[in-house]
Structure 1
């Protein structure tokens, strides 16, 4: 039987919040305004060890793309690079420098 992912840890929301604050601070409130209350709470006050419904992160990705993609259609790829850089370590982090998306 195929298992479906229904929840993910708050570390992803922490990475997204950090990326937005470092790179898109002026759009942060606009993005938050497009989110449901639950998704906004997850983004503004994420807890590392908390498990969140995966739909909330999808909602955040959609809002980020809606607000930021007119200037950069690859905005989520930019976030992916940021998240990978912060999450990886050792040899994997070194090897990621050679990956081109």
Structure 2
């Protein structure tokens, strides 16, 4: 998985490319949580995301919880249809800001 950071002051945007799955979830989670401390709001641009597993969903949940506890927001944008379907089926679209 490739991740590119765009720093917008209090807000950060991560451009995700590839697959968010078990083999990279711990490393990605560590990065996202560090960035959740650095930025008030974090946007995940998922246009290049091909796949998300249950481990990837846990990464999103942990990141959301960290940002939310700090008074910030996790925003998902350009979510591909397959990934959006997974988010809808698991109820994540009810708690996350999906654009």
TM-score over 0.5 (shorter chain) = no
Structure in which a larger fraction of residues adopt helix: 1
Work out which of the two has the higher radius of gyration on C-alpha atoms and give 1 or 2.
1
Structure in which a larger fraction of residues adopt strand: 2
Question: How high is the TM-score relative to the length of structure 2?
Answer: 0.31
Question: How high is the TM-score relative to the length of structure 1?
Answer: 0.31
